[in-house]
Amino acid sequence: MSRFAKRIVVTGIGAVAPNGLGISDYRASLQAGRSGIARHEELANLRFACQIGGKPPVGPDEAEALIPGADLAKLNEAMVYATMAAVEAARMSGVPVDLKKGYNSTPVDWETGAFIGCGIGGMDTMFDELGPVMGEAADQEPGMGCRPMGTDIVPKIMESSVSVAVGKFLGLGGQTTTNSSACNTGTEAIFEAFKHMQLGYCDSMYAGGAEGTHFATWSGFDAMRDVLCSKFNEMAEKGSQPMGAAACGFVPAGGAGVLRLETLEHARKRGAAILCEIAAAYCNSGGQRDGGTMTFPNPDGVARCIRRVLQDSGVDPARISLINGHLTSTAADPREVGSWIKSLELPLDKFPLIQSTKSMIGHALGAAGALESVAVVDQIVNGYVHPSINCEEVHPQIPIGASIPHEMRKKELEYVIKASFGFGDVNGCLLFKRWDGK
C-alpha cells in the first residue's frame, strides 16, 4: 500500500542528448546501442587528459528553429537545452507551444511550475563573455569597465537561469526554481516536483535538469586524478564503460531532460495521455560518514534511499523489472552494484536487469538523472530495455553479469527503479510504474 495521498503521472518527456535531439532520435540511439561520445579537438588543444565528451547535436540552426532569434541571444547553452527539452515535453503532453508565433500573449498557467536543476551553469558565458571584458576592464574609462558585458549577463550566469527560461517560455505561474545537488541534481528535481504536488501546491510540474558542455565545466573534473576517462581518447565511443572491467573514469557530457508531471486527477480532467506513473521518490544524504566522502557515497545512505522508495510504495523488490543505475564507469560501480544487491535482498539468479544510460551518453552532470529518467519512461512506454554498451567483459567485482543487457531487449516493464548518487554524498531514487489505465 502506497503512503502517498496523490498519484503522480508522467504525461510528457523531452530530451536533448549527446546521441539524439528529441525523443525519437534518442530512442533510436538507445535501442541501437549508439554512443554520442566523440573526441573534441578543443580539449586536446587545451591539453586536457580526457579529450572526449558527450555534446548534443545542437547548433544555431536547431536552436533557431525553435527559439526566436531575439530571445536566443539572451540564453546560455544550458538554457537553450532546457528550453528545447521542456517544449518537447509540453507538446507531448498536449500543451500547444509555438515560441515562433509569440509566447507572451499566452495566459499565465497558475497551476504549473518547474524544478529544472543545473550542476555548473553559465560557464560558457563566464569564460566567453565576462572573462574577456574583465581582462580589458583596467583599460576602460572610469566607471565603464563592466559596461561592455551588456544587460543580459546576470540572467545568463545565475544558477537559476535554466528554470527562468522554461518558466518564461511556458508562462508558468507556480513555483519555478533551480536545484543543484551535483550528480543527483536531475533526479532530485523530479523528487522535489513530486513532493511539491503531493503537498497540493501545483497540479502539474516540469521537472528535470540541464547542463552545458563548455570546456570550463569539465576542467575541474579533469584536474582530479582518475575521475575522468583519459585512456580512450582515440576510441571515444569505447570510453564510457559502466560495470566494465576496463572502466577508467567517467566521460563528461551535457544536455537536458525534462518530464511533465501531473496529478492523476488533473491529467484525466484535461484528457492527457498518460505515459507512466511515479510510484515513489526520495532523496537523502550519507552525512559523509562511514565510508561516505565528497566523492563516494556512504553505502548505508544509499541502501536507506533505495529501501525508502520501496517501503513508501509498498512494492516487493521481486516486482522490479529493471534498474537504471547511476553507474558512471568509475571505481564506484562495483560499490553501487553491491548496494543494490544489499538493498533489494534478492537471490542473484533472481536479480533484475540493470543498465547504465551513461554508457551511451556519458555523465551529463546536472542533467544526468533527468536524461536517464526520460530513458526510463520511454522504455516503459515502448516495452524495451536498452543495452549497456562497452561492458562485454564485466568488472570482476560485479557478480550479476547475467543481469546486464548487452543488446536491446523487448520486454514489458512493470516497475523500473532509477537512482543517482552525487558528490557530497547525496542520493536520490525514483520508482516508475507502467500505466495500466487504472
pLDDT at 1 over 80: no
What pTM did the predictor assign? 0.98
248 is catalytic: no
Catalytic residue from among 183, 229, 276, 305: 183
196 is catalytic: no
Catalytic residue from among 363, 386, 391, 395: 363
pLDDT at 226: 85
Euclidean distance between CA atoms 219 and 385, whole angstroms: 33
Bigger pLDDT: 225 vs 48: 48
CATH topology of domain 281-434: Peroxisomal Thiolase; Chain A, domain 1 (3.40.47)
406 is catalytic: no
Burial environment of residue 100 by CB neighbours within 10 A (0 to 12, 13 to 18, 19 or more): exposed
Cβ(278)–Cβ(430) below 8 Å:
yes
30: which 3 cell numbers? 538507445
Domains 8-270 and 281-434 are alike in CATH topology: yes
Least confident of 2-6, 82-86, 136-140, 286-290: 2-6
Catalytic residue from among 40, 196, 326, 395: 326
Euclidean distance between CA atoms 419 and 245, whole angstroms: 22
Euclidean distance between CA atoms 32 and 14, whole angstroms: 19
210: which 3 cell numbers? 540541464
Dump pLDDT digits (tens) for 229-284.
999 999 999 999 999 999 999 999 999 999 999 999 999 999 999 999 999 999 99
Dump pLDDT digits (tens) for 93-118.
999 999 999 899 999 999 999 999 99
Euclidean distance between CA atoms 402 and 400, whole angstroms: 5
CATH topology of domain 8-270: Peroxisomal Thiolase; Chain A, domain 1 (3.40.47)
Euclidean distance between CA atoms 88 and 97, whole angstroms: 9
pLDDT at 102: 87
pLDDT at 438: 84
Instruction: List the end-to-end C-alpha distance of the chain, in Å, as a whole number.
Output: 15
Domain boundaries, the chain: 8-270, 281-434
